[in-house]
Structure 1
């Protein structure tokens, strides 16, 4: 806008908007004290306001994080997190990580949204244009499946990610938004995203939530955060995608390999990335293909299993 006016373009409503913006920016140092106001509604609105002024991020972000850490009010905490995620740098992702496991769903959602936004800004996750060709090939193959279901809506995906309290890996999300709501893929095909009828058994969202034990549960059982089930291989073995990994590592959970309640030995790496896993399926060269069976084939153990369980 400033460049527009400097080039002697006509002054219009945009000029008034910029003048208003600059007026608030000039007073921002005085408004920062509102983050410590006694009224939680004022603290929340002050946190929201700071998201509009990335120029002041060096000052605002530390204050927003400090506000979030000391807040008992989840709305204020979530607002502070989202604002920091909007104006902060990718290095902030580590600040939000521990909040993915807190009890409050709203705070978990805000932390996940902030991490996803910062990761996208850093280029940590490939842009969807890199997946365009792969998605087209998967769509063509999926169309031939009798179990193929229409893609989910944007609202359905948003609801799913809110229930999970973390975003799906971008490619996995694109599969459900652009290709279909399950019913395609290797062997028994991908699960639906979420249950729509009581008759549906396993789904990505409900399967994950059913497998994660309550935080206060007294049990040896555990399921890694951010790892969603996507397909049943049979014999109780489950294919899953690590949505917290950069490439969407595809894992296989084999409960038959559990010994002495040690779950780490049940997790194996099927493919280093979801893209690689899909390309292997399209090429007909997966370990599960009838003419590819190798009795000596052995998947490597998932190195991160012990630390994520």
Structure 2
């Protein structure tokens, strides 16, 4: 495999920093661009070239491409909090759609042939299907999902018009942290359940709210497909190899385990990890919440030969909690 230099956008953020480590560990030349609006410079190893700046800065991108000899892009930069996207939709269309278009244009102009994109299962919206595959209708229910879907559409059009191929990976619920404790999630105001629960378990919150206990699920609480961040970034490396090996092929793939855990099961796992008890408060359902959402992951397994190594809820929780404790001192 020709391990071309990879530029990771948003490489100082949660998932991006894990991707940087995975690329570096596997021997890929890697560089990072991040504006540090939500990322942390300390999340990027000192021996990885780092550029502080905006992914829509064409002049900076041209310089990076030339200095690094960039042959592929992994694009993680963007805004990711669904409730915020409803309150500030234009920010999301700017950060996730307009800036992705600028980055893609710069890549095309520089002749960079491969693009791996951080997409989301939010593109499916609030469909009634519990398990969704990549052919399911895309009807996002919020600006976050819309903004990501717009980038998928731009990538597909660009791949038809220019010598570039892409893989859009649609994430389900990403959680956990690097098993070696090197990086983890530091997002302020995170809404992802496992992150919220381990914050409560480590004294940063005094309770966890359970939004609805009357869903049509075994215990009445919402069920989601939680994927360990390390398995997720492994999928990115496999996607990159596939794009290089098949330059005329592009892909859209779900990233999930194909089974889910309920809110109560997650909280029970955190309690087991701490031998304690998080305070749980029942709240009303949130608008748009669905009972269950699980990935049909057959395509990524068949296409990339992806084999998850951390498909265990307790392990995901344990790694998230270990990171949270390390982060707090």
Same fold (TM over 0.5): no
| Higher percent of residues as strand | 2
Q: TM-score interval w.r.t. the shorter chain?
A: under 0.3
- With normalisation by structure 2, the TM-score equals 0.24
Which one scores higher on RCO, CA 8 angstroms, separation ≥ 6? 2
**Structure label with greater radius of gyration:** 1
Report the TM-score when normalising by structure 1: 0.25
